[in-house]
């Protein structure tokens, strides 16, 4: 389904994506409903759905009853015939899930990393994906999505910066693609989570949101009219490395000082506790550190939201940061910044996310390309989007 601009193949791809997207939203759905919503003729819809059924992307569900005539044959997305792999890459492991067209996780697997060197990480991912797909040889793997913490150029397939991996300007997609025979898509943790929410949460379609990720690192995903906004230079959502201006000169792994990352990420909190002589990974005796982290996180999130004016804000805390003292104070500070605001404040949702959400979201990033046709001539694995942060 890769397009060639201006050709019949492009028109066919656009129409196939339109049909698949209606089935995704309305499933199960009759062909007549698809024709009505896409504006395509019934004959065209019949031809497209026949191709998609043959490719294993669609399946026929039980017949739907109508008031007159024969029951309509309803169409649904494929169960386990077509799969996408999603990988959550951390400094210690590659966590892999297989997701079907309906967004359901059907298998998972974990592989420990020998090191964070790009070549070791790529080999571990390739091996983990092969292990996970081995028992499902009859299924078609349409792609592999990889979520990495940091600043990611999705279009170029480059990890521009990842403090947790210790990477700078790593062309990781190309390295991984050389070990696999399927397209690879690279994105950040937070944009992967956002992709999953947008694709399979019907309530988020067309909405304006900011999704913040709070974990080992910090990130933000800016959603405009139901689509992730990545910015002119690919770094929209550059939340972690905004300066909080305290003059404390806390060094950040990006090379700057006093970034929000040094105060409110788990990495920053641990560095400050270690500086004070606390045991690595321990939060004992760090009440004022947690308080300072929450104060700066809540203020930074509110300031970012005020500039964008979203309908809603989601703050997703990973397990190591889902600490009541941190989450409660962050919410209090965020809401306090809207106490005297002249305009209605956005809804605020605090939620917990983890490796499963990052990995499944990475798979959803792959699946999303089936429901939205690209009009570019990008190389396999590229997408019209550019970059993600977090």
CATH 3.30.420.40 holds for 201-355 = yes
Banded model confidence at residue 375, pLDDT cuts 50, 70, 90: very low
The mean pLDDT value of the chain amounts to 87
Q: How much is the pTM?
A: 0.86
Cis upstream peptide for 28 (omega within 30°): yes
According to the model, what pLDDT value does residue 66 have? 55
pLDDT tens digits for 163-217?
999 999 999 999 999 999 999 999 999 999 999 888 887 666 668 999 999 999 9
Q: What pLDDT is recorded for position 384?
A: 32
pLDDT computed for residue 7 by the predictor: 67
8 or 251, which is more confident? 251
What is the predicted pLDDT for the residue at 387? 41
Collect all residues with Cβ–Cβ distance below 8 Å to 390 and sequence separation of at least 6.
149, 150, 188, 189, 190, 191, 213, 217, 218, 219, 220, 221, 237, 239, 240
Measured between alpha carbons, how far is 111 from 114 in angstroms, rounded to an integer?
9
Residue-wise pLDDT tens digits, 248-261 = 789 999 999 999 99
Return the pLDDT at 67: 54
Lowest mean per-residue pLDDT among 24-38, 239-253, 315-329: 239-253
Per-residue confidence (pLDDT) for residue 234, from 0 to 100: 64
- CATH code: domain 82-195+356-365 is 3.30.420.40
Please calculate the CA angle 228-379-25 and round it to the nearest 5 degrees. Answer: 40
CB 228 within 8 A of CB 388: yes
Q: In the chain, what are the domain boundaries?
A: 8-77, 82-195+356-365, 201-355
pLDDT value, residue 280: 63
pLDDT band with cut points at 50, 70 and 90 for residue 262: very high
Kindly report the CATH number that applies to the domain delimited by 8-77.
1.10.10.10
The domains spanning 82-195+356-365 and 201-355 adopt the same CATH topology: yes
Report which of residues 157 and 233 the model is more confident about.
Answer: 157
Question: What would the pLDDT profile of 48-92 be if each residue is shown by its tens digit?
Answer: 999 999 999 999 986 655 556 566 789 999 988 899 999 999 999
**CA 15 to CA 38: how far, in whole Å?**
8
- Amino acid 203: pLDDT: 63
> pLDDT tens digit string along 124-156?
999 999 999 998 888 999 999 999 999 898 888
The structure tokens listed for 8 are 């019949």
Q: Is the pLDDT of residue 335 over 80?
A: yes
Looking up tokens 């700057």 gives 256
């Amino acid at each position: 389904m890769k397009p060639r601009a201006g050709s019949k193949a492009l028109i066919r791809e656009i129409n196939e994506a339109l049909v698949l997207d209606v089935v995704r939203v309305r499933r199960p759905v009759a062909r007549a409903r698809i024709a009505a919503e896409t504006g395509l003729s019934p004959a065209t819809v019949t031809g497209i759905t026949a191709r998609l059924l043959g490719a294993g992307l669609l399946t026929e569900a039980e017949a739907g009853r109508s008031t007159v005539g024969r029951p309509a044959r309803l169409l649904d997305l494929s169960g386990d015939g077509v799969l996408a792999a999603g990988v959550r890459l951390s400094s210690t492991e590659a966590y892999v899930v297989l997701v079907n067209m309906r967004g359901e996780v059907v298998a998972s697997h974990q592989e420990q990393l020998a090191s964070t060197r790009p070549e070791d990480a790529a080999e571990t991912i390739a091996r983990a994906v092969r292990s996970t797909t081995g028992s499902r040889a009859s299924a078609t793997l349409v792609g592999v999505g990889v979520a990495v913490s940091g600043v990611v150029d999705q279009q170029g397939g480059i990890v521009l910066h990842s403090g947790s991996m210790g990477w700078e300007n790593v062309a990781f997609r190309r390295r991984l693609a050389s070990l696999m025979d399927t397209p690879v898509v690279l994105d950040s943790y937070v944009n992967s989570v956002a992709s999953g929410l947008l694709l399979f949460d019907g309530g988020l379609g067309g909405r304006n949101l900011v999704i913040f990720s709070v974990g080992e690192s910090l990130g933000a995903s800016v959603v405009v009219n139901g689509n992730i906004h990545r910015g002119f230079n690919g770094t929209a959502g550059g939340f972690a490395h905004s300066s909080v201006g305290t003059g404390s000169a806390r060094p950040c792994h990006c090379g700057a000082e006093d970034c929000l990352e040094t105060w409110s990420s788990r990495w920053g909190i641990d560095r400050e506790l270690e500086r004070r002589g606390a045991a690595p990974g321990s939060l004992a005796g760090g009440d004022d550190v947690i308080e300072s982290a929450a104060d700066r996180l809540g203020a930074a999130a509110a300031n970012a939201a005020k500039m964008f004016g979203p309908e809603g804000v989601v703050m997703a805390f990973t397990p190591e940061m889902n600490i009541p003292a941190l989450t409660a104070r962050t919410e209090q500070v965020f809401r306090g910044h809207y106490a005297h605001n002249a305009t209605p404040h956005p809804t605020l949702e605090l939620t917990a996310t983890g490796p499963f959400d990052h990995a499944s979201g990475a798979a959803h990033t792959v699946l999303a390309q089936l429901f939205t046709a690209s009009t570019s001539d990008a190389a396999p694995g590229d997408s019209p989007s550019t970059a993600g942060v977090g």
